Structure 1
Amino acid sequence: MLKTFRAWLKGSRLEWIDHVPTLGEEQIPVHVTFLENESVIDKQARGRRIAEILEKLAVSQAFTDIEPVIWQQETRQDRSLPGR
């Protein structure tokens, strides 16, 4: 059975959070997985990027040839109801 130990990575050192494994002085190969920790700054930057893309899309007038009412009717076509 695999054992998992939690630790903080500081520079090139791991600092154990919970239980400390008994390792001695031997070298043990490890796998470290970085969990996504999305900060508020990343969300704000992504929001600004999305806004820029939408502005460019609006300026390019990519959707001027689409009639919204007809598009909606085609997209939301009624389906036949069972038993009717």
Structure 2
Amino acid sequence: MLKTFEAVLKGNILEWANEAPKESERPVKVYVTLLEEDSSLSADIRRQKVVEILQKIADTNAFASVNDPAEWQRDLRQDRPLASRDE
């Protein structure tokens, strides 16, 4: 099982934030993913943006031709092949 270690990159130096891997005495191959900082938008503003987006989708009337949503969904599911199964 792979272990994940939290670190901070300062210039070209990687500083372990908590526990360091045992191999840290020698060069270690690492992958670094830069995480986005928390959004400065408040929950209310994000919620309002979601409402606006959903309203735009509703305004397009994309599913007007669907008479029976349950039947439409069943048909959609039948079109997809299942992994590891013969057809």
Q: Report TM bin, short chain.
A: 0.3 to 0.5
TM-score, normalization by structure 2: 0.40
TM-score, normalization by structure 1: 0.41
Structure label with greater radius of gyration: 1
